[in-house]
Amino acid sequence: MDNNAPIRDARSLGVPKMLILGLQHMFAMFGATILVPILVNGYFHGEGLSVQVTLFCAGVGTLFFHLCSKLKVPAFLGSSFAFLGGFSTVAELNTGIFEGMSYGE
């Protein structure tokens, strides 16, 4: 096997490497799916996203993705950290339509 050749089928790696890659993927996606709602709740003082809803939506989104791709693309649709910077800015706005808005409304 050429070391520079692309891997087109993960089964060619063998079971031990596939298990290690699977564990790595599980920890990365699970961490993002749990940590994002916790961070968002911090921005909204506990009134943002819930971990349970995020896990449910990630699971339903993944099942829908598998249904649409006819089980040909192995993927898990989890959360992303990309929007958190902008999200924290918008969460603290007190101008325009957000002026005078409180978290309890």
Return the pLDDT at 14. 87
* Residue 76 and residue 61 in contact, taking contact as beta carbons nearer than 8 Å: no
- pLDDT band (50, 70, 90) for residue 68: very high
Q: Please give the biggest Cα pair distance in the chain.
A: 65
Q: How many helices (H) and strands (E) does the chain have?
A: 3, 0
Percentage of the chain modeled with pLDDT above 90: 5
Output b/e per residue, 43-59; b: 16+ Cβ within 10 A. beeeebbeeeebbeebe
Encoded tokens for 5:
């050749």
Return the pLDDT at 49. 75
Reported as a single tens digit per residue, the pLDDT across 56-67 is 888 888 899 889
Domain boundaries, the chain: 12-98
